[in-house]
């Protein structure tokens, strides 16, 4: 299994059965060297929530590749109205797809779609994280979230091979809370995400990883990790 950190919270997971893309934010992300055209065929797009910096490229990629969009029910319905093939879920629910199991976890954040032209904000359901069981590995993508104590349960109930945790602060938990999350989750490898994309979320990922006792790994946008 190959993991590519695209940048921000966008992650490409290439497995033996499918290519999965989490939170596609590429076209407007000046911190990534990649473009949509650099991506392989995407079989499924997983959305943690509706904010533009997590869902911006959903439609063009799904239309190009016929990707299945997996998201909270309200957000899935929104994209179904755009003509995309969707699978709606809710917090705590799991589903066995041909490529593996997807379970939605809670996240403490917001979720909306902003129409700047009309100055309207559309509710997009609850924000979420994902627990993925793929090719014998278990991956946790926390999405945009604050620290919450049930992360300890996630760590106790799952043998996590890899966890993606936001560290940017301001909009999500910062490095100190992410360190606590890492301790509770007990993942074999922790990769920091959602930092340095905008000035307000500038962080030192190397300093964060140095405090993880060998369990952390900094991936620059475009870098890969074999799991």
Q: Average pLDDT of the chain?
A: 97
Residue 114's SS3 state is: strand
Compute and round to an integer the Cα radius of gyration of the chain. Answer: 16
Q: What is the pLDDT, as a whole number, of residue 127? A: 98
Number of CB atoms found within 10 A of residue 91's CB: 15
Pairing mode, strands 85-89 and 94-97: unpaired
Distance CA 119, CA 116 (A): 5
Q: What is the pLDDT, as a whole number, of residue 30? A: 93
Give the domain extent around 152.
2-226
- pTM: predicted TM-score of the whole model, two decimal places: 0.97
Q: In CATH, what number is assigned to the domain containing residue 46?
A: 3.60.15.10
Cα dihedral across residues 59, 64, 66, 70: positive or negative: negative
156 CB burial (10 A radius; 0-12, 13-18, 19+): exposed
* Number of structural domains in the chain: 1
Q: What is the pLDDT, as a whole number, of residue 174? A: 98
Share of the chain above pLDDT 90, in %: 99
Q: What is the pLDDT, as a whole number, of residue 223? A: 97
Distance CA 140, CA 104 (A): 10
Instruction: Taking residues 20-39, report their average pLDDT.
Output: 97
- Which contacts (CB < 8 Å, 24+ apart) does range 132-135 have? 132/13, 132/20, 132/100, 132/101, 132/102, 132/103, 133/100, 133/101, 134/1, 134/13, 134/15, 134/17, 134/20, 134/99, 134/100, 134/101, 135/1, 135/15, 135/16, 135/17, 135/100
* pLDDT tens per residue across span 171-217: 999 999 999 999 999 999 999 999 999 999 999 999 999 999 999 99
Instruction: Taking residues 100-104, report their average pLDDT.
Output: 98
Q: What is the pLDDT, as a whole number, of residue 226? A: 96
Q: What is the pLDDT, as a whole number, of residue 115? A: 86
Q: Tell whether the model's pLDDT for residue 116 goes beyond 90.
A: no
- The confidence band for 50, taking pLDDT boundaries of 50, 70 and 90, is very high
Distance CA 173, CA 118 (A): 31
- The confidence band for 8, taking pLDDT boundaries of 50, 70 and 90, is very high
* pLDDT tens per residue across span 146-166: 999 999 999 999 999 999 999
Instruction: Taking residues 92-110, report their average pLDDT.
Output: 98
């Amino acid at each position: 299994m190959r993991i590519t950190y695209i940048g921000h919270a966008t992650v490409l997971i290439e497995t033996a059965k499918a290519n999965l893309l989490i939170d596609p934010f590429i076209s407007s992300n000046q911190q990534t060297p990649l473009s949509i055209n650099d991506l392989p065929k995407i079989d499924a797009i997983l959305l943690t929530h509706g904010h533009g910096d997590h869902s911006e490229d959903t439609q063009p990629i799904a239309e190009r590749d016929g990707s299945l969009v997996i998201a909270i029910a309200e957000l899935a319905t929104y994209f179904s109205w755009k003509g995309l093939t969707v699978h709606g879920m809710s917090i705590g629910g799991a589903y066995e797809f041909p490529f593996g199991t997807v379970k939605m976890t809670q996240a403490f954040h917001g979720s909306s779609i902003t129409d700047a032209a009309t100055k309207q904000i559309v509710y997009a359901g609850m924000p979420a994280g994902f627990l993925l069981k793929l090719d014998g590995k278990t991956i946790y993508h926390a999405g945009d979230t604050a620290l919450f104590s049930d992360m300890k349960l996630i760590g106790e109930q799952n043998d996590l091979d890899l966890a993606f945790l936001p560290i940017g602060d301001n909009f999500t938990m910062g490095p100190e809370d992410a360190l606590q999350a890492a301790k509770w989750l007990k993942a074999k490898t922790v990769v920091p995400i959602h930092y340095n994309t905008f000035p307000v979320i500038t962080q030192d990922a190397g300093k964060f990883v140095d405090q993880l006792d060998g369990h952390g790994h900094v991936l620059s946008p475009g870098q890969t990790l074999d799991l």
